[in-house]
Structure 1
């Protein structure tokens, strides 16, 4: 068995360019502080027949250094692009992963909406079609139209019914702001149909979702980003949460689109008072634990989820979206640097816990990730 516990981080790489390099640098550094050998690799870095793996670690002065590394005992999957080579590796049986493959947004929404433990928090959602959009527009004063495989707030359009027509606002694939004021439902339907055609990401479908009045701050969309993670004992723990306040007139609160992070308490207590804010926070925690339990039952072992939670103007809590490979920038932008560091440390702590559990179950076996080789 290697002298150090060995953790690989599977991610997208092209040359020396990596996805989310800042976060991954911090993840490697957190692993080193905890005494582990942590490195990045991508699907093209695995040489199964020779049982060799090329890994990458940060250089002190910037950039990345590559070299051969021991076969990882556990792999954390941070790959966010469902390309065929990645999918083949993910299902090859070569590695023991800390987190299982996830599904598309629509399937996850269907699962949660049909489970009595969590369905109370799920807004009405359907796969987009012109007919379905028209039917939901009659029923709900606010609708969101969003890609089923999108991320970062791109491709989301918000449709609001007004006394004299419909107001539409959206952020396109390049984060450009788009707005329209239309008189009739037919015009709104035509606009959205063009939007779906133009903003499709890798041929994925679009969803239509019941809109919520999240205007706790006038003319600004607000929501809550909650991070729930496994800790060093393998238990689900809410690491923290923060509120996000969108730019004026924006369809989303997303930080990529100019949103601002503020402490949960500052936003919610100001609107509802201390006592109700505490009740809302407890409900958010309860929902996070239930959602994590339901999804882990369905998909297998998971290690963290980012939940986008809506608190509407009446104080009702809604689940907007679940991300199995979440960011944690909301804590840094709030100035909660200790919480930010803990959010980075926990995936490594959980990975180390898994390695220790494997050692207990197989005390005489070399646990360097030995699997059948394809």
Structure 2
């Protein structure tokens, strides 16, 4: 009888508390359905002497159970915290990973902005420093100040010129709303200086980014979340994309802040018409494929990216952000169960393809670009 392929999922845990437990539970179960032995583990669960892993799997009634598992043939990295123990394990050479280490948000933005294949989609972006906000306001009437290591829409500030004044809107680290007006660019610079000091997430930099007019609906921000993944043949394929629409008056479209997800074709046809909507969709797909290819060249093998794409009022697509460990809840919120389930299955399908081909034994992954 043929043995099952063994896939490990590396993630953060403390006791039996995991990051993103709902998604990881679904990921393990998707692996079981595909006939694989799949389990979760963290850096503290690796026994290198006996070459076995203390793994965790979901129990039928909720919660987790643990036991010793065989060494995984391929590991999917879902660890989101760059703690020293994780970084040591990641670079130890002990495992064949489906996805390579990635760099910080600012380094990725800079890398893409300097690559002529993809630079046309990247808004002007700089690391925050004194005077940078005033300099950028001379070129752009709209700016975003955002943490280089943030997630979930926290600590993002929108700065917009309104006549001779400036309006500042944002959400702080606790998702509290801020909405004020100031008289001039000097006042903006001073306000932003206080914001980046108070709203810093751990030790990360803040970025100052050219704002895009994404008000496709009056007084709301709308953007696109696109998921591109390797399929069971190891080929990049767009799994799905959806429009995220923010709450009235919000500076972001983030679902954590009360935004909602809408069908991409339905929204774009309504806003831009039946002729323009397919062109915008093709542009988003082209961007995703080119960015995935470019980043894989730089970092080594990858398996999925979530792209946040801004479509401005003229119908032009821009890259806002790229995430190598993306969520996929947008499809569930939209009610697209089929795409949601495919988005969960694909990482396992790709890991199984690697395990069957034994390709990790031949392919040496590059270390993180620093």
Following TM superposition, the consecutive aligned residue runs of length 4 or more in structure 1 with deviations greater than 6 angstroms are 359-362
Change (3 A) 1:103 1:361: closer
> Which residue in 2 is equivalent to 1:370?
none
SS of the residue corresponding to residue 130 of structure 1 reads coil
Deviation at 1:130, TM superposition (A): 2.1
CA distance in 1, matches of 2:304, 2:179: 35
1:345 corresponds in structure 2 to 345
What residue ranges of structure 1 are gaps of 5+ in the alignment?
363-374
RMSD after superposition: 1.4
8 Å Cα contact 1:2/1:70 also seen in 2:
no
1:31 aligned onto 2:31: yes
Give secondary structure in 2 for the equivalent of 1:50: coil
Counterparts of residues 190-201 of structure 1 (less than 5 Å): 190-201=190-201
Closer/same/farther in 2, CA of residues 142 and 246 from structure 1, 3 Å limit: same
Q: Which runs of 5+ in 2 are unaligned?
A: 363-370
Alignment correspondent of 2:180 = 180
Counterpart in 2 of 1:355?
355
TM-aligned CA deviation for residue 351 of structure 1: 0.2
Q: Equivalent residue for 1:215?
A: 215
CA gap of 1:272–1:93, structure 2 versus 1, over 3 A, is: same
* Change beyond 3 A, Cα 1:155–1:359: closer
Shift of 1:269: 1.1
Deviations 1:165-198 (A, max 9, x none): 1111111111111111111111111111111001
TM-superposition CA deviations, 1:318-357 (whole Å, max 9, x none): 0000000000011001100011000000000000000111
In 2, Cα distance between equivalents of 1:156 and 1:285: 27
Give the match for residue 368 of structure 1: none
Q: Is the 8 A contact 2:230 2:347 kept in 1?
A: yes
For 1:333 and 1:297, the matched residues in 2 are separated by 33
Quote how far apart the aligned CAs of 1:126 are: 0.3
Separation in 1, partners of 2:262, 2:99 = 29
Which residue in the other structure is 1:90 paired with? 90
Please give the alpha-carbon distance, in whole angstroms, between the structure 1 residues aligned to 2:266 and 2:217: 12
Rounded Cα–Cα distance in structure 2 between residues aligned with 1:130 and 1:271: 39
Per-residue CA shift, 1:64-106, capped at 9, x if unaligned?
Answer: 0011001000000000000101000000111000000000111
**Which residue in the other structure is 2:335 paired with?**
335
Across the two proteins, how many residue pairs are aligned to each other? Answer: 362
Query: TM (normalized to structure 1)?
Result: 0.95
